[in-house]
Amino acid sequence: MRTGALVRVSAHVLLSMPQKLTERPSAFPVLDDAGARQAQIRAIAAGLVDGPRMGRRFHRPAGVPLQPSVRRRRHGEGLRQVAVERQRGLLLRRLLGVGLLVAQVGALAVLLTAPAFRVHTIDVSGERLLSRDAVLAAARVPTSSLFTVDGDAIRARIAQLPWVRSVSVTTSLPSTIQIAVTEWQPDLVVRHSSTTTLVAADGATLRTDHSTTAPPNDVAVLLDQRTGAQQPLIAGAVDLLASAASRWATVFGCKLDAFVLSSSNVLSAWCSSGWQAVFGALDSNDALAAIPGQLAALAALTGRVDLAHPAFGYVDLENASSPAIGGHPGEPAWVAAAVAGGALSTTAPVSGAASASASPLPSPATPATAPPTPTPFIFHLVPSSPPGQR
């Protein structure tokens, strides 16, 4: 039962209740006149709320004109006009977007096909050991538009070349590619016949055509007089010779011009002050392992002989415990010429203990004489003496 009907029935029951019943004790309090009127008013209001609702009826009296409302009608002509305008605006924006896209595609096509933006110039810098042609051959730069050049791919191809430490590839409008190469430095320069080969510590080699070019500064030079095709060195020889050359001037007080590997595989070292250190045959790993001890024995002689202004032509270190000196000072002319880049003859004379004299051989116009017999000075050194002991 609804709330309004319940209130109406309760008010009716209270109003019609006999007096004597109201005098009886009851759980409901007795309403006075004001309370009864309020209950009646509430009942009437509840009836209005709960009663059926009638539809609105509009009646226009005769002779009264209708006035238009200022409120916008959702189903009016104006709304349809707004919808049409919105559709037109949306269509216009779409057409504008399509036009811009077509313009961008056309501009991109012009950039990709215009001759002015095709690759015309390739600048290579930093190449000293490698030739420019070798760098360009490895780069394989396409002749397409500058905007389609893959710099990372070009960089990866050049990095595969030996002696390339790092490389950078940049582009410059309208048609230039710039390649900057940083090369590794060689540890040893090997002169053999008329060729020059750069050798790294790990055994990597690079043959260069610049046979008349002086070797890089502070790089040891090895003059290889062995006949036939150039042969590889014993593993570890490059690192050992490069290390000895880097400390030669500090330890011995004179400049090292070149190591010499004779046709009989004898290793020696020529100094600019005019004397030669002979280490012996470099034909095994044991011979290579003996070189540090021979250098220590040579360092022990610095307190007894003047290596910067020698009065001898060679120091024989084949027996490190008993080094011998002899001969006359003077560096052969073919050594300086070969170091400067000239062709190295495999028949060049071998100076030192093997020839019994460090002096250059007499010229053909001079009557032949017997080579002098050297009188070497013998020094007995303890093999276990630490390097640098005097």
* E strand segments, the chain: 121-125, 164-172, 176-183, 188-192, 195-199, 205-208, 220-224, 256-261, 266-271, 276-281, 314-316, 324-326, 377-378
Q: Whole-prediction pTM value? A: 0.54
DSSP string, 311-349: SSSEEE-SSTTS-EEES-----HHHHHHHTTPPPPTT--
Give Cα 108 to chain centroid, integer Å.
Answer: 31
C-alpha closest to that of 205 among 214, 192, 362, 193: 192
Euclidean distance between CA atoms 337 and 159, whole angstroms: 35
Euclidean distance between CA atoms 350 and 276, whole angstroms: 11
Euclidean distance between CA atoms 195 and 226, whole angstroms: 13
- In sign, the C-alpha dihedral spanning 80, 84, 90, 94 is positive
Query: Cβ neighbours of residue 16 under 8 Å, at least 6 residues apart?
Result: none
Euclidean distance between CA atoms 313 and 325, whole angstroms: 7
DSSP string, 263-326: TT-EEEEEETTS-EEEEEE--SHHHHHTHHHHHHHHHHGGGTS-SSS-SSSEEE-SSTTS-EEE
The values of phi and psi at residue 82, to 5°, are -65, -40
Beta bridge partners of 344: none
Euclidean distance between CA atoms 182 and 193, whole angstroms: 29
Mean pLDDT by 10-residue block, N- to C-terminus, for the chain (390 residues)?
51 52 56 84 83 70 78 61 77 87 81 80 88 91 86 93 89 90 87 84 69 62 89 88 92 93 93 94 92 93 90 92 91 85 59 41 33 40 40
pLDDT of the residue at 372: 39
Cβ atoms < 10 Å from Cβ of 170: 11
Whole-angstrom CA distances from 212 to 17, 188, 198 are: 140, 17, 14
CA 199, 202, 203 angle in degrees (round to 5)?
A: 45
Q: Which fold has domain 116-183?
A: Ubiquitin-like (UB roll) (3.10.20)
By DSSP bridging, strand 256-261 and strand 220-224 are parallel
Euclidean distance between CA atoms 250 and 295, whole angstroms: 13
pLDDT of the residue at 86: 80
Task: Check: CB of residue 315 under 8 Å from CB of residue 325.
Answer: yes
For 3, the enclosing helix (H) or strand (E) is: helix 3-16
Place of tokens 């750069």: 198
pLDDT of the residue at 274: 93
Euclidean distance between CA atoms 230 and 197, whole angstroms: 10
pLDDT of the residue at 37: 87
Give residue limits of the domains in the chain.
Answer: 3-50, 79-112, 116-183, 188-362+372-378
What is the rounded radius of gyration, in angstroms, for the C-alpha atoms of the chain? 54
The values of phi and psi at residue 284, to 5°, are -155, 165
